[in-house]
C-alpha cells in the first residue's frame, strides 16, 4: 500500500483497535459516538475508501444509489449484517465483511443470563430492593420458574445456538430440541444433548424456554409472530439475542400482556434504540441494551477481525470474512 487508504469508523471502538487502525490507515473516528444519519453515511461512502459500520448504522439500498461512491469495502463490526442492503452494495462492487467466531461464548452467556433472570424474576426483585419496597422474605414472594431439568428449544443451531445448548444441557440438565434449516449431524447434536426437530412449530410446542439464534432479515423477519407465539406453552419464555426483527414486537407485547406466554428476555429490538413503552412497562420481560458481545475481550477481538479483513482487502488478498 503506497498511499494509506482513507477509512471511517462510524462509532467509537476499543482503544486498542482504534490505535491499530490509526497506524495502518488514514483513519477518521466518530469522536461524538452518536449514530450517523443517512446523509452523513452517504457522505462517508463518497469520501472514504472504506467505511467500518456497526449494527447501529442503517445502510439501505438508497444510500448506494449515489454515482460518486468511493468506498470499496464495508468492514462491518458484528456478525449480523441485515442492517446493510447486501444486494445494493454488491451491485456497486462494494465488498462486505463481518466478524464471526469471536462472540459466540459471550452471546451465549447473555442468553443464559436472560433465561435465568426472567425465569427467577430477578429483574423484578432487583428493582424492588433498589426502590426500597422490599418487605422481607415471605413464602409466596416473587415465585418464579425452575430452570433445571426443563426443555430448551433453540431456533438456529449455529455456533451460538450450540454454545447455548452446551450451557443448558451440561449446566442445568435441560433437554434440548432445536430447529435448523440444514440438517445437523446426529452425533454432533447428541454430544450437546440436543435433538433436531423438523419444524419451528414443533420446537415451540415442546419447549419451556425458546432461545433464538438465527440470522435476522430476509425470510427470518417476524419468524416469531402472533401465530407462532400462540403455539408456545402458556408457561413458556422467549429469549432473543439474535436480531430484533426476528420477532414481531407488537405481537410479542400482546402475548406478554394477555398471558399467551409467561415472559421474555430480550437483548435486541426491532428499531434500536427505540423500545416500545408497552414493552418497557411490563414486569414479565427482561430488557438489555444489546449487550451480547459486550466484554472487553470480545469487542476487541471483533475490532481486530475488521482490521484483518480491511488490511487483506487493501493488500490485494481475499478478506477472510467476506459475506458479499
pLDDT band at 128 (very low <50, low <70, confident <90, very high): very high
Q: How many CB atoms lie within 10 A of CB 83?
A: 20
DSSP characters over 66-121 = -TT----EEE-BSS--TTB-HHHHHHTT-EEE--TTSSHHHHHHHHHHHHHHHHTT
What's the pLDDT tens digit per position in 61-76? 999 998 899 999 999 9
As given in the structure block, the three cell numbers for residue 228 are 407462532
Q: Answer yes or no: are the C-beta atoms of 80 and 96 closer than 8 Å.
A: no
Mean pLDDT for all residues in the chain: 97
Burial 262-286 (b: 16+ CB within 10 A, else e): bbbbbbbbbeeeebeeebeebebbb
Percent of the chain predicted with pLDDT > 70: 99
| 6-101+296-314 has CATH 3.40.50.720 classification | yes
pLDDT given at position 10? 98
Clarify whether 222 is annotated catalytic.
no
DSSP reduced 3-state for 168: helix
The active-site residue, picked from 272, 278, 308, 322, is: 272
**Angstrom distance (rounded) from CA 295 to CA 313:** 27
Question: How much is the pTM?
Answer: 0.95
SS3 194: strand
Question: Which distant-in-sequence residues (6+ apart) come within 8 Å of 3 by Cβ?
Answer: none
Whether the pLDDT of residue 1 is over 80: the answer is: no
| Cα–Cα distance list, 316 to 38, 178, 307, 322 (Å) | 30, 41, 14, 13
Cα–Cα dist 119/174, whole Å = 14
Report the pLDDT value the prediction gives residue 43, as an integer from 0 to 100. Answer: 97
Question: How far, in Å, CA of 51 to CA of 149, rounded?
Answer: 47
pLDDT score of 2 = 67
C-alpha cell, 292 = 451480547
SS3 of 286, please? Answer: strand
- Tell the residue number behind the cell numbers 419444524, with chain if given: 199
Q: If we measure between CA atoms, which residue out of 4, 9, 15, 5 comes closest to residue 299? A: 15
Residue 135 pLDDT greater than 70, yes or no: yes
**Quick one: average pLDDT of 77-87?**
95
CB 30 within 8 A of CB 12: yes
pLDDT per residue over 251-279, tens digit each? 999 999 999 999 999 999 999 999 999 99
Bridge partner list, 238? 210, 264
**Per-residue pLDDT tens over the stretch 179-199:** 999 999 999 999 999 999 999
Contact 97, 51 (CB under 8 A): no
- Catalytic option among 83, 159, 290, 299: 290
CA distance 17 to 77: 11
* CATH code 3.40.50.720 region(s) in the chain: 6-101+296-314, 104-287
pLDDT band at 94 (very low <50, low <70, confident <90, very high): very high
Domain 104-287 has CATH 3.40.50.720: yes
pLDDT at position 47 over 80? yes
Residue owning grid cell 413503552: 277
- 200's grid cell: 419451528
Annotated catalytic residue, options 121, 159, 167, 243: 243
Amino acid at each position: 500500500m503506497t498511499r494509506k487508504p482513507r477509512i471511517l469508523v462510524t462509532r467509537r471502538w476499543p482503544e486498542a483497535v482504534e490505535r491499530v487502525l490509526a497506524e495502518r490507515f488514514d483513519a477518521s473516528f466518530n469522536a461524538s459516538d452518536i449514530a450517523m444519519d443517512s446523509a452523513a453515511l452517504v457522505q462517508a461512502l463518497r469520501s472514504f475508501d472504506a467505511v467500518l459500520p456497526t449494527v447501529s448504522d442503517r445502510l439501505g439500498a438508497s444510500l448506494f444509489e449515489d454515482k460518486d461512491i468511493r468506498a470499496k469495502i464495508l468492514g462491518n463490526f458484528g456478525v449480523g449484517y441485515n442492517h446493510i442492503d447486501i444486494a445494493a452494495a454488491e451491485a456497486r462492487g462494494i465488498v462486505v465483511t463481518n466478524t464471526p467466531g469471536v462472540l459466540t461464548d459471550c452471546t451465549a452467556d447473555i442468553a443464559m443470563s436472560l433465561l435465568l433472570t426472567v425465569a427467577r424474576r430477578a429483574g423484578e426483585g432487583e428493582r424492588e430492593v433498589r426502590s426500597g419496597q422490599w418487605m422481607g422474605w415471605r413464602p409466596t414472594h416473587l415465585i418464579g420458574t425452575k430452570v433445571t431439568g426443563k426443555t430448551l428449544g433453540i431456533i438456529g443451531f449455529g455456533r451460538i445456538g450450540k454454545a447455548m445448548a452446551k450451557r443448558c444441557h451440561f449446566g442445568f440438565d435441560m433437554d434440548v430440541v432445536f430447529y435448523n434449516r440444514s440438517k445437523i449431524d446426529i452425533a454432533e447434536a447428541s454430544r450437546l444433548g440436543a435433538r433436531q426437530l423438523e419444524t419451528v412449530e414443533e420446537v415451540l410446542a415442546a419447549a419451556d424456554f425458546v432461545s433464538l439464534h438465527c440470522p435476522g432479515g430476509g425470510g427470518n423477519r417476524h419468524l416469531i409472530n402472533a401465530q407462532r407465539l400462540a403455539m408456545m406453552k402458556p408457561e413458556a419464555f422467549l429469549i432473543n439475542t439474535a436480531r430484533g426483527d426476528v420477532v414481531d414486537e407488537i405481537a410479542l407485547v400482546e402475548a406478554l400482556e394477555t398471558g399467551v406466554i409467561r415472559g421474555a428476555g430480550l437483548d435486541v429490538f426491532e428499531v434500536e434504540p427505540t423500545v416500545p413503552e408497552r414493552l418497557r412497562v411490563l414486569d414479565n420481560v427482561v430488557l438489555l441494551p444489546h449487550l451480547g458481545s459486550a466484554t472487553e475481550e470480545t469487542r476487541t477481538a471483533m475490532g481486530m477481525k475488521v482490521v484483518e479483513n480491511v488490511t487483506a482487502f487493501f493488500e490485494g488478498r481475499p478478506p477472510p470474512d467476506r459475506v458479499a
